[in-house]
């Protein structure tokens, strides 16, 4: 039960984007700051753009900026943009009908459904702006525990 690096990278990158006071920021800069692969990040940003989370400007001096304000971008938006639908178990995936053909395999389907809804709700109710303020708080009061 894991989110992949994609979600984490995307969130880190967006936070980085927010942190710069510039209107926009180039991938090169983000990738440099976070020490991530520029090409890999680019793929993620492609998805973020398709999802309407960022807008891109091409050419010299171009880059990305947020397409919406912080409050209207949820963590769920970001995650689903780069990782696809959240399904705690494969059989919840509506796309692939071939799962869950066997009733007894999915005795626990209701359980997974509830769990999944819960996770989704939690991620949905958390905005990028929540993340930012939480991070600022943490920075000014780093409570011992190593990060």
Partner DNA sequence: ATAAATCCTACTAAAACACTAATGATTAGG
Partner DNA sequence: CCTAATCATTAGTGTTTTAGTAGGATTTAT
Q: How far is the CB of 146 from a second copy (least distance, A)?
A: 8
61 binds DNA (CB under 7 A): yes
Q: Which does 44 bind (CB under 5 to 8 A by kind): DNA, a second copy, none?
A: none
| Segment near DNA (CB under 7 A); pick from 13-21, 60-68, 70-78, 97-105 | 60-68
Q: Applying CB under 7 A, which of residues 18, 64, 80, 128 lies at the interface with DNA?
A: 64
Using a 10 angstrom Cβ sphere, with 0-12 exposed, 13-18 middle and 19 or more buried, the burial of residue 138 is exposed
**Rounded Cα distance, 70 and 19, in Å:** 12
Determine the Cα–Cα distance for residues 5 and 34; give it in Å rounded to an integer. 13
Residue 130 to residue 136: CA distance in whole angstroms: 10
Please identify, using beta-carbon distances, which residue of 57 and 72 lies nearer to a second copy.
72
In terms of CB distance, is 17 or 131 closer to DNA?
17
Q: Report the candidate in 89, 98, 79 with the shortest Cα–Cα distance to residue 10.
A: 79
Taking contact as CB under 7 A, which single stretch among the options 54-62, 97-105, 106-114, 120-128 is the one that binds DNA? 54-62
Residues 96/90, Cβ–Cβ less than 8 Å: yes
Phi, then psi, of 143 in degrees rounded to 5:
-90, 70
Task: Return the CA Rg of the chain.
Answer: 18
- Which one of 3-11, 71-79, 106-114, 137-145 is the stretch in contact with DNA (CB under 7 A)? 3-11
The site partner of 117 among a second copy, DNA, none (C-beta below 5 to 8 Å per kind) is none
Query: Where does 3-133 show beta strands of DSSP type E?
Result: 54-57, 63-66
Which residues sit at the interface with DNA, rule CB under 7 A?
A: 2, 4-6, 9, 26-28, 36-37, 39-40, 42-43, 45-46, 49, 56-64
């Amino acid at each position: 039960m894991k989110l992949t690096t994609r979600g984490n990278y995307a969130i880190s990158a967006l936070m980085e984007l927010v942190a710069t006071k510039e209107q926009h920021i180039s991938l090169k800069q983000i990738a440099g700051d976070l020490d991530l692969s520029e090409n890999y990040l680019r793929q993620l940003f492609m998805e973020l753009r398709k999802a309407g989370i960022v807008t891109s400007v091409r050419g010299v001096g171009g880059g990305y900026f947020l397409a919406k304000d912080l409050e209207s971008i949820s963590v769920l938006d970001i995650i689903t943009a780069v990782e696809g639908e959240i399904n705690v178990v494969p059989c919840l995936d509506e796309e692939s009908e071939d799962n869950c053909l066997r009733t007894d395999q999915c005795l626990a389907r209701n359980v997974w459904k509830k769990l999944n809804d819960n996770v989704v709700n939690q991620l949905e109710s958390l905005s990028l702006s929540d993340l930012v303020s939480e991070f600022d708080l943490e920075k000014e009061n780093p409570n011992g525990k190593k990060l």
